[in-house]
């Protein structure tokens, strides 16, 4: 696929070759950084976040700056006319920003907001999360972490533990469907099961998968464990994650030596801080790998892939 001008709205638009091209670009971006090089000149990157964010927003801001671009935007719509008396529409906001930006990164609480933004913008749009719909940049970051830590996504046994209604897990499963996993182990929130939508995705991808009720049951079988928090606001502030869905030092005695533990973040009580000291902790490295992915996406949609390749060519004296 030619990514120049492409709108990254969901994982639905990406095949295996597309994902691998993004991974290769991310690998090259790391080399670019090691060489102390920048890539962009006089490119404006708009970061429009209508929802709170730590890793995604700061990651995109850092990505744009490290590429040599100019960053502008907002982390709270209250500072714009969209958040005061005028309630400026998303459509008008995008029309305005489109006159100023070369690429637009947006997070919004409404489903399909990124798709709507793309329909009004000439600049490419990157979806940083829309409602409970899609989160393709989280998925690409996490798949890239698995790839970097294990050398390939093929033949991995992966465990996903948490709430399967959350957008990040659905996007991750969609991406994993492009690869030849050995097996997928699912541990949904207590008394909830997996959703009909996720079950359909699993069937379409022809996954070999099992559904379990506890983390303990899957730990010995997996190369990657990824969690999202079931201790979520909609379950109430007093909710506590049961031990069946909590990573504990005692259950890691049966873990494979190469186990990688990932988390979509932010974490709550499902991932205690004493796990941070174990060699299985890859959830902070995810942030660094996510930086390379975000830099790769910006590079690709701006059509700077050849510029990157030229920067990495050895100098012949």
Question: What integer pLDDT is reported at residue 46 of this predicted model?
Answer: 98
Residue 3 lies in a domain: no
What's the per-residue H, E or C state across the chain?
CCCCCCCECCHHHCCHHHHHHHHHHHHHHHHHHHCCCCCCCCCEEEEEECCCCCHHHHHHHHHHHHHCCEEEEECCHHHCCCCCCCCCCHHHHHHHHHCCCCEEEEEECCCCHHHHHHHHCCCCEEEEEECCCECHHHHHHHHHHHHHHHCCCCCCEEEEEECCCCHHHHHHHHHHCCCCCCEEEEEECCCCCCCHHHHHHHHHCCCCEEECCCCCCCHHHCCEEEECCCCCHHHCCCCCCCHHHCCCHHHHHHCCCCCEEEECCCCCCCCCHHHHHCCCECCCHHHHHHHHHHHHHHHHHCCCHHHHHHHHCCCCC
Residues 199 and 258 in one domain: yes
Residues 281 and 293 in one domain: no
Residue 5 lies in a domain: no
Residues 131 and 20 in one domain: yes
Residue 276 lies in a domain: yes
Residue 6 lies in a domain: no
Residues 15 and 123 in one domain: yes
26 is in which domain, residue-wise? 11-135+289-312
Residue 273 lies in a domain: yes
Residue 189 lies in a domain: yes
Question: What integer pLDDT is reported at residue 316 of this predicted model?
Answer: 65
Question: What integer pLDDT is reported at residue 158 of this predicted model?
Answer: 98
Residues 166 and 282 in one domain: yes
Number of domains into which the chain is organized:
2
Question: What integer pLDDT is reported at residue 32 of this predicted model?
Answer: 93
Residues 246 and 293 in one domain: no
Question: What integer pLDDT is reported at residue 200 of this predicted model?
Answer: 93
Question: What integer pLDDT is reported at residue 317 of this predicted model?
Answer: 60
Residues 161 and 122 in one domain: no
Residues 184 and 118 in one domain: no
Residues 77 and 160 in one domain: no
Residue 141 lies in a domain: yes
User: In CATH, what number is assigned to the domain containing residue 147?
Assistant: 3.40.50.1370
Residues 53 and 164 in one domain: no
Residue 1 lies in a domain: no
Residues 109 and 226 in one domain: no
Residues 32 and 123 in one domain: yes
Tens place of pLDDT per residue across the chain (317 aa) = 899 999 999 999 999 999 999 999 999 999 999 999 899 989 999 999 999 999 999 999 999 999 999 999 999 888 777 776 568 899 999 999 999 999 999 999 999 999 999 999 999 999 999 999 999 999 999 999 999 999 999 999 999 999 998 899 999 999 999 999 999 999 998 888 889 999 999 999 999 999 999 999 999 999 999 999 876 666 666 678 888 999 999 999 999 999 999 999 999 899 999 999 999 999 999 999 999 999 999 999 999 999 999 889 876 66
């Amino acid at each position: 696929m030619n990514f120049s001008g492409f709108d990254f709205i969901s994982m639905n638009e990406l095949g295996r070759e597309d994902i691998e091209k993004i991974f290769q670009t991310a690998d090259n971006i790391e080399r670019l950084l090691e060489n102390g090089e920048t890539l962009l000149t006089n490119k404006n990157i708009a970061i429009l976040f209508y929802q709170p964010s730590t890793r995604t927003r700061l990651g995109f801001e850092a990505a744009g700056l490290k590429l040599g671009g100019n960053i502008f935007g907002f982390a709270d719509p209250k500072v714009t006319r969209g958040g005061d008396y005028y309630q400026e529409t998303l459509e008008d906001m995008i029309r305005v920003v489109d006159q100023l930006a070369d690429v637009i990164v947006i997070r919004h609480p409404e489903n399909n907001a990124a798709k709507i933004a793309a329909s009004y913008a000439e600049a490419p749009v990157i979806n940083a999360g829309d409602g409970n719909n899609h989160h393709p940049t989280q998925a690409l970051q996490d798949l890239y972490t698995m790839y970097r830590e294990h050398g390939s996504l093929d033949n991995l046994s992966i465990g996903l533990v948490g709430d399967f209604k959350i957008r990040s897990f659905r996007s991750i499963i969609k991406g994993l469907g492009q690869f030849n996993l050995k097996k997928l182990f699912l541990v949904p929130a207590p008394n909830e099961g997996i959703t009909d939508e996720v079950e359909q995705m699993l069937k379409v991808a022809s996954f070999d998968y099992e559904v379990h009720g506890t983390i303990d049951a899957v730990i010995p079988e997996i190369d990657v464990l990824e969690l999202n928090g079931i201790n979520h606001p909609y379950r109430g502030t007093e909710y506590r994650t049961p031990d069946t869905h909590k990573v504990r030092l005692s259950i890691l005695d049966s873990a494979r030596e190469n186990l990688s533990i990932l988390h979509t973040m932010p974490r709550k009580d499902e991932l205690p801080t004493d796990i941070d000291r174990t060699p299985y902790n890859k959830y902070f490295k995810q942030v660094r790998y996510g930086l390379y992915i975000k830099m790769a996406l910006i590079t690709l949609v701006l059509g700077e892939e050849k510029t990157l390749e030229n920067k990495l060519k050895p100098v012949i004296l």
